[in-house]
Structure 1
């Protein structure tokens, strides 16, 4: 089991890493502005699922497998980078629209938001660096048992990411009226696109 200092250190490090603006949070804000809080939280669910995937990789040593299958790992990196560029293209050319706050959100839109959150996170170099490089410096992964992973790390990770993501979502929803103009929406979407292109470039450089 983790002691109190490890729990606090991990929580603080994860919160800081999550709060730093990146492709995930950029997409979260854009989705929350365009689709409302429910759509934002669905995307956040995908982000959390992606983080838990990399957490599991780190805990169960699957990062070592990636090192032994370097060709496959490089293919995944390129695929993730291409997907980020595709999302950037969608954001860049997205047509700003007037908000309809009372419009019911379709189930397909919510599912799309969750899938986008997952794929963005799996291709996010910041997430990869945190779990596969920084996490071992914070926690002795050799001492982490399946029970510790399931009963402590998984719920702790989900709660921290939920708290940080909720701040972004509620803040975005709160300022929706400031982004009601088409020009403001276009700036937001193109800013998100630029962040995703930068993340894709970072994946291929490192």
Structure 2
């Protein structure tokens, strides 16, 4: 793929990914409520979900995606349910001042990964970008195997930068909360954000 086309794609993806949506809200709320540990697996799952949508667009399977509407509907509700589960965990988490500096309970990285995938597959924002907007940015009929590999690499690179920025900012913000009362407010707020992200996915 020519450099100009790759730059256009990367720029458009960066703008789309950086603008707040259910995926970003889920990442930020997770880090604020649970810390940065586990954010990598969760974010990687979200990025892989993006690559799935990218693949569907490149191979011209937008129509197939519509044909398997019921499957994507199940995935959408699974993603919403996962976010609601995290919201419940955050809302009911015990608040103690020292908790900010201690390790959170172990979370299965594989579970976090698939949770991230489910969030992206049920999120209308990447769906619209890859299936509707991407064909207006690139001539998908001329994408070769090498060009597809370059698009996948660019997707991971762009999303990696965007997610790292949000995770870093959320981690710094989390350190500002030191009292038990502040932590309780933080947990309740991030739990509400997670529930809102779930509602945004379920409503589409």
- Normalising by the smaller structure, the TM-score range is 0.7 to 0.9
Within 5 Å, give how 1:136-151 maps onto structure 2. 136-150=135-149
Within 5 Å, give how 1:35-114 maps onto structure 2. 35-67=34-66, 69=67, 72-73=68-69, 75-94=70-89, 95-97=92-94, 98=96, 99-103=99-103, 106=106, 108-114=107-113
Instruction: Report what 2:176 is aligned to.
Output: 178
Give the Cα–Cα distance (whole angstroms) in 1 for the partners of residues 126 and 202 of structure 2.
13
Instruction: Report what 2:199 is aligned to.
Output: 197
Q: Secondary structure at the match of 1:175?
A: helix
Within 5 Å, give how 1:23-34 maps onto structure 2. 23-34=22-33
Give the Cα–Cα distance (whole angstroms) in 1 for the partners of residues 129 and 74 of structure 2.
20
What is the deviation of 1:102? 3.9
Q: Secondary structure at the match of 2:129?
A: helix
How far does the alpha carbon of each residue in 1:150-191 deviate from its partner, in whole angstroms, 9 at most, with x for none? 1x1111110000000001101111111234520122012102
- Segments ≥4 residues shifted beyond 6 Å: none
Structure 1 vs Structure 2 CA RMSD: 2.0
TM score, norm. by length of structure 1: 0.85
**Unmatched 5+ stretches in structure 2:** none
What is the deviation of 1:111? 2.2
Relative distance call for 1:184 and 1:37 in structure 2 (3 A) is: closer
Q: Which moved more, 1:176-185 or 1:115-124?
A: 176-185
TM score, norm. by length of structure 2: 0.86
| Count of residues paired in the alignment | 195
